[in-house]
């Protein structure tokens, strides 16, 4: 009997193999690729249709102004719950930098029902995790939890938003933790000071210029009343967005949120911020000395908000320049030119105005200016064109692959939905991202490179080894 089954399986495999052999082309033939006018790709006679991945997000709003965005995904019995508070470091008062980040830490101070540390302990006990992050535009609280414990985590979140235990003792403890975090990530990080200097130099008025981690003297002067006032101003339901992605029934999940969060009182008015930022009309430069081994440079260009249509060609531009081994910077600069040892592209897409950042390092006996020159030359080549269709298509496919692979995770989907809703004002953009990326043309990429990546819109930070400053001082003494 077993032999008979094996014989049948062998026959089936042989038949499939023969069908494939006679229906496929010779291995020596290379498939031809043709670009069709509407942006589709035709490969070996087959038209490649753009992938249409839709997230059926549903929006709900409570009477107190709390917004809830839900996306069901029953592939695994887990849920990602995110609470987006539309207040980040941009919302801090002058002289109070670091306040938003400090308040994020205070949100784990505990309540009478769930004392300090209980939220994370219970989350871990139930197979989940609780975390948070402060950004320039928002503060995000994230819970990953099994679906059977969703109500518990919703209740615990609502409890801390209503009944947070704030005391001078807890403030002193959390302030010290935030100070240590600043020392670790900025003051004692070889590159932390360069990033901080970049935003301070690129922005003259807009509060993006202030460091998210805060200045130490500012942190020391923040009072408990400052923190309470920040919570009362921004941690209100009409300034919060809850995003839920995972294994739940929408109506039941929304009812749970309503039951636990409807008691929060909305604010009559949420303060705006000064959006004025004068147009940059000339290159700005600054130097930072640090404990790096070799000179580095950080270049940034002002770009529009994430809600701007140019967001999509700028994203494609990033991939053309610096993503993957076949990108222009990797291929032309790192591989062939011995001046540069490293180069990356990290654009920050923000709610009001972003920065298209390029970070490079040079080899021994070379200056940051030499590395910069190579970067500018490569950008000029792209602007002059032409941009080969296969290069443009490769960048689009890389974005598509990144999006499809990342979309398997609840955290990615919740973060994307929350980002588009809070930063761009339109969560439905998640369903047109691939379509808009696919619609980006050669002219679009060249246009945004020309419009934004030019000298007058440029800020440059030179990151130099500390020994260079010592040498410079010695030279000055010798001249005297």
- Over the stretch 115-156, which tens digit does the pLDDT of each residue have? 999 999 999 999 999 999 999 999 999 999 999 999 999 999
| Rounded Cα distance, 288 and 429, in Å | 39
**Sorting pLDDT into bands at 50, 70 and 90, what band is 341?**
confident
**229 plus 361 within the same structural domain:** no
**199 plus 298 within the same structural domain:** no
Domain end position, chosen among 207, 226, 261: 261
**198 plus 312 within the same structural domain:** no
Cβ pair 461, 288 in contact under 8 A: yes
**87 plus 224 within the same structural domain:** yes
State whether residue 422 is helix, strand or coil.
Answer: helix
Q: Identify the CA nearest to 433 among candidates 423, 447, 420, 445.
A: 420
| Rounded Cα distance, 255 and 154, in Å | 11
Question: Per residue in 55-106, pLDDT tens?
Answer: 999 999 999 999 999 999 999 999 999 999 999 999 999 899 999 999 999 9
Q: Is residue 4 part of a domain?
A: no
**79 plus 221 within the same structural domain:** yes
**Sorting pLDDT into bands at 50, 70 and 90, what band is 33?**
very low
**288 plus 198 within the same structural domain:** no
**334 plus 220 within the same structural domain:** no
Q: Which two tokens stand for residue 440?
A: 């980006």
Cβ pair 112, 158 in contact under 8 A: no
Which residue in this structure is represented by tokens 């940034």?
Answer: 300
Q: Is residue 311 part of a domain?
A: yes
Q: Is residue 37 part of a domain?
A: no
Q: Is residue 188 part of a domain?
A: yes
Structural domain span for residue 309: 284-479
**89 plus 201 within the same structural domain:** yes
Q: Identify the CA nearest to 157 among candidates 64, 244, 69.
A: 244
Q: Is residue 426 part of a domain?
A: yes
**234 plus 364 within the same structural domain:** no
Q: Once rounded to an integer, what is the mean pLDDT over residues 365-390?
A: 93
Total structural domains within the chain? 2
Which contacts (CB < 8 Å, 24+ apart) does range 281-286 have? 281/456, 282/455, 282/456, 283/455, 283/456, 283/458, 283/459, 283/460, 284/201, 284/202, 284/458, 284/459, 284/460, 285/201, 285/459, 285/460, 285/461, 285/462, 286/197, 286/201, 286/460, 286/461, 286/462
**171 plus 202 within the same structural domain:** yes
- 359: domain CATH number is 3.30.830.10
Do β-strands 284-290 and 240-246 pair in parallel, antiparallel, or remain unpaired? unpaired
Question: Per residue in 392-401, pLDDT tens?
Answer: 999 999 999 9
**296 plus 238 within the same structural domain:** no
Strands (DSSP E) contained in 107-157 are: 129-134, 139-146
Question: Per residue in 258-277, pLDDT tens?
Answer: 999 999 999 999 998 888 89
- In Å, what is the CA distance from 462 to each residue of 189, 208, 361? 16, 20, 10
Predicted model pTM: 0.86
């Amino acid at each position: 009997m077993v032999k008979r089954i094996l014989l049948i399986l062998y026959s089936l495999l042989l038949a499939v193999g023969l069908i494939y052999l006679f229906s496929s082309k010779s291995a020596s033939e290379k498939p031809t690729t043709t670009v069709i006018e509407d942006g589709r790709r035709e490969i070996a006679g087959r038209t490649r249709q753009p992938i249409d991945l839709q997230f059926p997000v549903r929006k709900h709003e409570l009477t107190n102004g709390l917004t809830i965005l839900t996306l069901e995904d029953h592939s695994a019995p887990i849920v990602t719950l995110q609470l987006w508070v539309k207040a980040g470091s941009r919302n801090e008062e002058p002289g109070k930098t670091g306040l938003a980040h400090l308040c994020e830490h205070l949100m784990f101070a505990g309540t009478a029902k769930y004392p300090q540390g209980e939220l994370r302990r219970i989350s871990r006990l139930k197979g989940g995790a609780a975390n948070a992050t402060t950004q320039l535009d928002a503060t995000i609280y994230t819970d990953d939890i099994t679906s059977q414990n969703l109500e518990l985590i919703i209740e615990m979140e609502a409890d801390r938003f209503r009944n947070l235990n704030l005391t001078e003792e807890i403030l002193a403890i959390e302030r010290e933790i935030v100070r240590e975090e600043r020392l670790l990530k900025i003051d004692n990080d070889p590159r932390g000071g360069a990033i901080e200097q970049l935003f301070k130099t690129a922005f003259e008025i807009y509060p993006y210029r202030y460091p998210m981690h805060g200045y130490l003297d500012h942190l020391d002067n923040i009072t408990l009343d400052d923190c309470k006032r920040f919570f009362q101003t921004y941690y209100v339901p009409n300034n919060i967005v809850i995003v839920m992605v995972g294994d739940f029934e929408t109506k039941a999940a929304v009812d749970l949120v309503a039951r636990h969060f409807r008691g929060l009182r909305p604010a009559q008015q949420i303060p705006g911020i000064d959006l004025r930022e004068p147009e940059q009309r000339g290159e700005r430069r600054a130097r930072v000395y640090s404990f790096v081994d070799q000179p580095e440079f950080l270049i940034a260009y002002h770009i529009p908000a994430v809600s701007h249509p140019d967001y999509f060609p700028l994203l494609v531009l990033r991939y053309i320049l610096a993503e993957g081994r076949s990108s222009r910077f990797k291929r032309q600069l790192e591989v062939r030119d011995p001046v540069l040892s490293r180069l990356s592209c990290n654009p920050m897409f923000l709610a009001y105005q972003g920065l298209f950042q390029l970070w490079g390092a040079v080899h021994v006996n070379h200056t940051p200016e030499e590395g910069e020159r190579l970067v500018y030359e490569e950008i000029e080549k792209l602007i002059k064109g032409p941009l080969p269709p296969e290069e443009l298509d490769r960048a689009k496919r890389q974005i598509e692959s990144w999006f499809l692979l990342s979309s398997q995770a609840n955290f990615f989907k919740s973060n994307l939905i929350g980002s588009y809703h809070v930063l761009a004002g339109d969560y439905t953009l998640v369903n047109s991202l691939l379509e808009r990326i696919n619609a980006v043309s050669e002219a679009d990429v060249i246009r945004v490179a020309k419009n934004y990546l030019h000298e007058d819109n440029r800020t440059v930070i030179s990151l130099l080894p500390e020994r260079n400053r010592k040498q410079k001082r010695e030279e000055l003494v010798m001249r005297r």
